[in-house]
Structure 1
Amino acid sequence: MKHAGGWRTWWVAGVGVAVLTACQTSEEAPPELEDVAAATVTLEPGHCAGVVVEDGRHALTAAHCVGPGDTRVTLSFLDGRRLAGRYVHVDRGRDLAVIRLESLAPVRPLEVARELPTAGAPLVFAGRNDRPGDPQEALLERLGPCPSLPEVPAALFTTVRGRPGDSGAPLVDSRMQVVGLVHGGAACRIATPTVGMAEAVTTLARGGPALARQSPPPPR
């Protein structure tokens, strides 16, 4: 469930410096919250979520959303458009899967963070695009092991108020980079970190194998 009250004021106050820095150092305007919502997709028939990343030809979702025999999937976007894709990498130990889209996504893709976030970092969560509402502000409470993520030494424990079906939805940091995907737990507050997946997508885009079984580093 997304929280409607005060998220814009909180986000601007909390990350204004980071956004200003990005504006000064990049020729392209930094992503905004609207871009996060647009890049968040629903996996048809509405059982999970995902996010378009990096080159715009790939999306990430949670591996537990992928059935044993699933090879193809249809993604629906905020504006109602749909795009087919196929699973090209599924890592059940980390609960991460990569989808290769049949064509370039009609949205601005989000970058995947190259490093783990730190405890106390502000996060934002858009959730499923078929559930209307404003993005939800959240915090990363701590990093640590989670029994259902056996190959992840630093799962993300957050204050996200998710609902069943939000699995695979992205959590982004102050730079609007994807740092994790909703995994589950109490009120869907646990996320699997996406560190390392930018490199995996690049490898896949070049026709090589994904970085299977590569665990994220432990928290510093």
Structure 2
Amino acid sequence: MRAWKRGGAAVAFVAVTAWMACGQQQPREAQGLERAAAATVTLGDGHCAGVVVGAGRHVLTAAHCVAPTAGHELANFEDGRRLEGRYVFVDRGRDMALMELEAKAPVAPLEVAGALPAPGELLVFTGRFDRPGEPQQVMLERLGRCPSLPDVPAALFTSMHGIPGDSGAPLVDARMRVVGLVHGGARCSIAAPTADVAPEVQRLSREGPESLARSTPPARP
């Protein structure tokens, strides 16, 4: 059983359910948190993270994790399995990249929320499976401009305490929907919002998988 971290105190993982959704069954909410943790993957040699989204054939990650010449990458799962993927969408101005996997992921995908979370909303950062630690209850403190996200008018400024390598990992809301990806800043507490890429995730999920042999489309500047 994983533990929950809030202000340095750890409590049983299932106790988070009382915060996430009053009146709902605790086992169901605990399963949702476990699902969010399982959907978080590491990339390549572990330099960054990402999250399985859509119909399970795509991984959403931070564009700054993608080398300019990178076309393919490996997604590493909690159970040790690995799948090769091909980048099909890279937007460096919003720090968003989407990778298509060679096969369906062995975990349940997460939905990408179509709207921004509101300041004051409580979010969850489950962390990486290859690092010790507890999931974090994260407060969205404000929305605002971030110099390293030139095309994002409303970056997520949070109370998260992250470390290098957390880039690309998801922040999820009470419904276990992805609302942001770890971007950077002090304590890695700034997240790039994912609402604008939700339609792209939906579109690619509706389309059939493409061959990994196809060339990668040019990245957006």
TM-score by length of 1: 0.85
SS at match of 1:83: strand
> Percent identity among equivalent residues?
60
Cα 1:159/1:70, change in 2 over 3 Å:
same
**1:55 alignment partner in structure 2:** 55
Deviating more after overlay: 9-18 vs 57-66: 9-18
1:152 is aligned to: 152
Instruction: Tell me by how many angstroms 1:86 deviates.
Output: 0.6
1:93-132 equivalence runs, <5 A: 93-132=93-132
**In 2: Cα distance, 1:201 partner to 1:112 partner:** 8
Q: Where in structure 1 are there 5+ consecutive unaligned residues?
A: 24-28, 214-220
Q: 1:218 — aligned with what? A: none
Q: CA–CA distance in 1 between the matches of 2:54 and 2:23?
A: 20
Aligned residues: 203
User: Which residue of 1 is the match for residue 17 of structure 2?
Assistant: 12
3-state SS of paired residue (1:36):
helix
d(CA) in 2 for partners of 1:101 and 1:200? 16
Counterpart of 1:36 in structure 2: which amino acid?
A: A
1:115–1:195: 8 Å Cα contact kept in structure 2?
A: yes
Q: Deviations over 1:24-66 (max 9, x none)?
A: xxxxx99611101100000010100000012100110000000
Match of 2:36 in 1: 36
Q: Take 1:7 and 1:158, find their aligned partners in 2: how far apart are those partners?
A: 23
Q: Runs of 4+ in structure 1 displaced over 3 angstroms?
A: 7-10, 17-20
**Residue in structure 1 matched with residue 198 of structure 2 by the alignment:** 198
RMSD: 2.4
What residue identity is the alignment partner of 2:125?
Answer: F
1:186 equivalent to 2:191? Answer no
Q: Is the partner of 1:160 in helix, strand or coil?
A: coil
